[in-house]
């Protein structure tokens, strides 16, 4: 898994501009209406926002995404195994993420407005099933692609309202390598004494490359305030290696 709110006037202006751009593009060069993509991967550690979801163990992950090209709409489902012994999962051994949103681009500028539902099938309690909304911006400068996204949940895993802000940089390197950097801010509305959790930051840096149709990535992941990370939710400095296949 991997931010401030835009003003309403600015968002409205972007919407108007994007609709005009899409109408021109459709008239000049019609594109396919529907498309599906998928991925399957194996990672040495499923770390989400600086916290291992598999007790520092491996995970098998995969997903399918659907896009409706003329209007830049998308929807998808993604799944991973998690550590069923974790109290927060209440017996669930899998996480299923359902997503939907709108992600237009024009002249290098990208906008992403969407929703995600974190679902844990077979759990003994639905308290950790979570709704989250996001608003993000990115810009392709060719030699670097920065992005900034704000996420909000009205009840983050039963701990009350929470914000997450994500800053990412992607840098193309020689020989088809890509350097990726990330910094995230976790900011709950409620403190620990009020039924929430302690605010903390997470960060990572990694290299990735495709070989013979497979994607390979190696990342270093860390966070501050590791003393608030209760077992089996492990956290701290660790390397994560991932192999994936897109189709």
The model's pLDDT over 206-242, given as tens digits with 9 standing for 90+, comes to 999 999 999 999 999 999 999 888 766 889 899 999 9
Q: What is the model's pLDDT at position 30?
A: 56
Classify residue 3: in a domain, yes or no.
Answer: no
Residue predicted with more confidence, 7 or 182: 182
Number of domains comprising the chain: 1
Residue 89 binned pLDDT confidence (cut-offs 50, 70, 90): confident
Query: Which residues face 185 on adjacent strands?
Result: 165, 201
Q: What CATH number has the domain bearing residue 148?
A: 2.40.160.40
pTM across the whole model: 0.84
Q: Is the pLDDT of residue 24 over 60?
A: no
Classify residue 132: in a domain, yes or no.
Answer: yes
Classify residue 104: in a domain, yes or no.
Answer: yes
Classify residue 2: in a domain, yes or no.
Answer: no
- Domain range for 196 is 8-246
Q: What is the model's pLDDT at position 193?
A: 87
* Percent of the chain whose predicted confidence (pLDDT) is above 90: 70
Classify residue 77: in a domain, yes or no.
Answer: yes
Classify residue 1: in a domain, yes or no.
Answer: no
Q: What is d(CA 22, CA 69) in angstroms, rounded to the nearest whole number?
A: 10
């Amino acid at each position: 898994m991997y931010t401030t709110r835009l003003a309403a006037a600015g968002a409205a202006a972007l919407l108007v501009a994007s609709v005009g751009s899409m109408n021109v593009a459709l008239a000049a060069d019609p594109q396919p209406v529907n498309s599906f993509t998928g991925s399957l991967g194996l990672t040495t550690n499923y770390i989400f926002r600086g916290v291992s979801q598999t007790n520092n163990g491996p995970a098998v992950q995969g997903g399918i995404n659907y896009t409706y090209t003329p209007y830049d709409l998308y929807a998808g489902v993604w799944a991973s195994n998690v550590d069923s012994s974790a109290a927060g999962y209440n017996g669930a051994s899998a996480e299923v993420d359902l997503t939907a949103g709108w992600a237009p681009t024009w002249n290098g500028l990208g906008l992403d407005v969407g929703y995600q539902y974190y679902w844990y099938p077979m759990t003994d309690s639905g308290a950790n099933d979570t709704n989250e909304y996001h608003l993000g911006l990115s810009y392709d400068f060719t030699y670097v692609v920065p992005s900034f996204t704000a996420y909000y949940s009205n009840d983050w895993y039963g701990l009350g309202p929470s914000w997450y802000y994500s800053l990412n940089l992607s840098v193309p390197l020689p020989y088809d390598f890509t350097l990726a950097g990330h910094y995230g801010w976790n900011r709950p509305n409620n403190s620990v004494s009020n039924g929430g959790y302690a605010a903390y930051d997470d960060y990572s840096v990694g290299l990735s490359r495709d070989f013979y149709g497979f994607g390979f990535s190696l990342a270093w992941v860390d966070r501050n305030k590791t003393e608030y990370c209760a077992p089996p939710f492990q956290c701290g400095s660790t390397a994560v290696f991932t192999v994936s296949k897109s189709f």
